[in-house]
Structure 1
Amino acid sequence: MRLDDKVAIVTGSGRGLGLAYAEALAAAGAAVVVNDLDPAAVDAAVARIAGAGGRATGVAARVGGRETAEALADAAIDRFGRLDVLVTNAGVLRDRVLWKMTDEDFDEVVRVHLRGTFTCARAAAVRMRAQGQGGRLILISSPAGQRGNFGQTNYAAAKAGIAAMARTWALELARSDITVNAVVPVAATEMTKTIPAFAPAIEESERTGAPLPGWMRRDEGLGTPGDAAGLIVFLASDAAKDVTGQAIGVGGDRLTLWGHPYEKAVAFRDGGWSAEAIAAAWPDGIGAEPEPYGIPAPKGPEA
C-alpha cells in the first residue's frame, strides 16, 4: 500500500503515537511534515525518517492557534508542493476531577485537542479544496471521548468533540472528495504505563523487548504505538477513498468500528409527556436498558 505521491502533516509527532504515524506514512512513501512543541524532538524525528530513507521536514510549534495551523500547511506546500493528508494527533493532559479542575486545566486541553484539530483541519481543507484532487483528514480521538473517563472532563469533552467534527466535516467536504474519519487508538504510552493492571507488562516488554501478553493485546486492545499506525496508512491511501464519517478503533490485535449516537428507544404518548407520565413509563419503557458509561476497568490476565 503505497503513498509515494502523497504529502502528510502529523501534529504531535515528535514521540509516541504521533511519531509512529509519521514513520509509517514515510515508510509507505509519503513526504511528512513533523510537528512537536519540542524542537529537539522534531529534529530527532526528521532525522529518524530520513535515516530510514524517507522524506520529512519539521515545524516546532504549539498546536492550537491559527498561526501554527497555517505554518504547518505552508510547510507542506513550500517544501513538497502539495498537501494530501492531515493527522491531528497533538495533545496534552491536565487530569483532575470536576471539583478540582481549574479554568486553565480545562482551557489548555480544549485549546490543543479541540481547537487545534479545528484550526489545522481548516487550513488543510482550504489547501486540499484549492488543489482539487481530494484529501484525507484523520482526526485522533480517544476511548475517553466515546465512553467518558474518571478525572478527564476536559480530555473526554475534547475527544468527543473531535468525533463530532469528523462526522460534520465528512458531510461538508464530501463534494471535494476529502474524507474525514476519527481514529480511536489504544497503545502503551506514558499515560497507560500509569494504569496498575498494565504497568508490569509494559515495563517487562520495554525491558526485554518481549511482545505484550496476549490478554492485553486482544482483550484490552492495547499494543505498541506501531500497532496503531497501519490504520493511519490505510485511511491515507486510495484503498480508503470511500471510508468517511467513521470512528475507527485500533490497538494491539483489535480493530473496531465505533457506533454513533442514535435513538436507541422511542416511546409515544398522545398529548405529550408530563413529568409524572415519564416517571411512570421510565422503568419498563425507554429507561429499562440504560446505556453504559465510562471506560471499563482492565480485566487482567486471569479474567
Structure 2
Amino acid sequence: MDLSGKVAIVTGSGRGLGLAYATELARSGAAVVVNDVDAEVAEAAVKSISDAGGTAVAEVVAVGSSEAAQALVDRATNEFGRLDVLVNNAGILRDTTLWKMTDEQFDAVVTTHLRGTFTCTRAAAIRMREQGEGGRIICVGSPTGQVGNFGQTNYAAAKAGIVGMVRTWAMELARAEITVNAIVPVAATAMTETIPFLQPYIEALKAGEPMPPFARQQLGFGSPEDAAGLVAFLASDAASGITGQAIGIGGDRLALWSHPSEVVVEFADGTGWSPDAIAGVWPEKFAGSQQKVGQEFPEPPK
C-alpha cells in the first residue's frame, strides 16, 4: 500500500498494537502522529519509526476528552497540513466481576475506549469534511465486545458500543467519502497476557520462538505486527468501497464479522405474545438456536 502524502493519527500508539499500526502506516509512506500518556514511551515510538525511515511526531495526551481529541487533530494539521486517517486504538483495562466493579473502574474504561473513540472521531470527521477529500476512520473492537468475556463488563460495553457507532458513522459520513470500519484484533499484548489459555503462545513469542500453526490459524493469534497490515489496507485507496464493517485479524486469520441478526422468528395469531404462549413455543422453536456467550477456543493438538 502506498500512503505517501497521507497523514494519520494513531491513539495509544506508544507500544503494543498501536505502535505496530503506526509503524506500518509510516512504512507505507504516511506521516504519523503517535499518541501516548507517557512522554518517554511516545518519544521512543517516534524514534523507532524515524530510525526506520518513517515520519512521526508525538502528542502526549490522555484520550477521552474533547480537548484531547482536538489537540491530536491540531497536531496533525499544524505539523503536516492535513488529516487523512484516524486509528482509534487507545485503551485500558480494569477487569473484575460485576459485583466487585466500582464506578471508577467502569468509568475509566468507558471514558478511554468509548468516549475517546467518539471524541476523536468527531474531531477528525469535522476536519476531514472541511478538507472535502474523504478520509479513513478505523476503530478498534474486540472479541469481548462481540461475544462477551468473564470479568470485563466495562470493556465489553465499550467495545460493543464502538462497533455500534461504526455502523452509524459509516452511514453519516458516506456522502463525505469518509469510510469508517472496526477491526477486531487478537495479538500478544499486555491486554491478552491475562488470558491463561494464551500464556504458552505469549511466552513462545517472548522467547523468539515461532508460533505454532494451531495458534496462528485456529486461534487467530499472533504478534501485534500480524494485525498491522489490515490497518494500512483500510487506510488506503484500495479500501475505498469498504465501510461499516467489523473485520477480525490475528496471526494468519482474517475474518469478517456479521451484523447481529435474527436467527429464529415466530408469529403469534393476531393477539400478541402472552407469557404462557412464549413458554409453550420456546422449547421447540427457540431453545436450539440460543446464542453462546464468551469465546470458545478449540482444543490444541496433542
Question: What range is the shorter-chain TM-score in?
Answer: over 0.9
The aligned counterpart of 1:230 is 229
Matching residue of 2:148 = 148
Q: Is it true that 1:99 corresponds to 2:99 in the alignment?
A: yes
Deviations 1:214-250 (A, max 9, x none): 1111110000000000000000000000000000000
Cα drift, residue 140 of structure 1: 0.3
Shift of 1:288: 3.0
Residue type matched to 2:75 in 1?
A
Q: Could you tell me how far 1:93 is from its partner in structure 2?
A: 0.2
Identify the residue that residue 4 of structure 1 maps to in structure 2: 4
1:102 and 1:54 mapped to 2: Cα distance? Answer: 42
The alpha-carbon deviation at position 298 of structure 1 amounts to 5.6
Whole-Å separation in 2 of the counterparts to 1:165 and 1:59: 25
Deviation at 1:194, TM superposition (A): 3.0
Gaps of 5+ in 1: none
Provide the C-alpha distance between the structure 1 equivalents of 2:36 and 2:100, rounded to a whole number of angstroms.
Answer: 29
Change over 3 Å in CA distance of 1:133–1:243 after alignment to 2: same
- Is the Cα contact below 8 Å between 2:147 and 2:294 reproduced in 1? yes
Instruction: Please give the root-mean-square deviation of Cα atoms over the aligned residues, in Å.
Output: 1.0
How many angstroms does 1:197 deviate by?
2.8
User: How far 1:193 sits from its partner (Å)?
Assistant: 2.5
Instruction: Report the Cα distance in structure 2 between the residues aligned to 1:298 and 1:70, rounded to whole angstroms.
Output: 44
Match for residue 276 of structure 1?
A: 276
> Is the contact made by 1:216 and 1:301 (CA closer than 8 Å) also made in structure 2?
no
1:199 positional shift = 1.6
CA distance in 2, matches of 1:298, 1:102: 33
Partner of 1:47: 47
Shift, 1:210, TM fit: 2.1
Q: How does 1:33-182 map to 2 (within 5 A)?
A: 33-182=33-182
Deviates more, 1:134-143 or 1:193-202: 193-202
What amino acid does structure 2 have at the position aligned with 1:210?
E
Code of the residue aligned with 1:46 in structure 2: it is V
- Distance (Å, rounded) in 2 between the aligned partners of 1:165 and 1:55: 30
Please, what TM-score do these two structures have when normalized by structure 2?
0.98
Moved beyond 6 Å, runs of 4+: none
Give a deviation string over 1:240-282, Cα, whole Å, max 9, x none.
Answer: 0000000000000100000111111111112111111011011
> Is the Cα contact below 8 Å between 1:184 and 1:250 reproduced in 2?
yes
Matched residue SS, 1:284: helix
Match of 1:192, SS? coil
Conservation of the 8 A alpha-carbon contact between 1:138 and 1:232: yes
SS at match of 1:250: strand
Helix, strand or coil: the match of 1:257? strand
1:196 aligns with 2:196: yes
Aligned to 1:243: 242
What is the identity, as a one-letter code, of the residue corresponding to 1:156?
A
| Aligned residue number for residue 261 of structure 1 | 260
SS at match of 1:13: coil
TM-aligned CA deviation for residue 190 of structure 1: 1.9
Letter in 1 for 2:5: D
Distance in 2, matches of 1:297 and 1:101, equals 26
Query: In 2, distance between residues paired with 1:42 and 1:298?
Result: 37
Tell me which amino acid in the other structure corresponds to 1:236: A
Q: Report percent identity of matched pairs.
A: 62
Q: Is the 8 A contact 2:21 2:225 kept in 1?
A: yes
Tell me the equivalent position of 2:23: 23
Instruction: Measure how far apart 1:191 and its partner are.
Output: 2.7
For the 8 Å contact 2:182–2:247, the answer to whether it is kept is: yes
Rounded Cα–Cα distance in structure 1 between residues aligned with 2:229 and 2:209:
21
Q: Secondary structure of 1:176's partner?
A: coil
Task: Tell me the alpha carbon deviations over residues 15-54 of structure 1, each in whole angstroms, 9 at most, x when there is no partner.
Answer: 0000000000000000000000100011001111111111
Q: How big is the shift at 1:162? A: 0.3
Is 1:216 matched up with 2:215? yes
CA deviation digits over 1:43-83, x for unaligned, max 9? 00111111111111110110000011000000010000000
Q: What is the alpha-carbon distance in structure 2 between the residues aligned to residue 204 and residue 276 of structure 1?
A: 55
Q: How many angstroms apart in 2 are the aligned matches of 1:64 and 1:292? A: 32
Q: Aligned partners of 1:228 and 1:111: how far apart in 2?
A: 25
CA distance in 2, matches of 1:272, 1:195: 45
* 1:35 match: secondary structure: strand
- 8 Å CA contact 1:169–1:180 kept in 2: the answer is yes
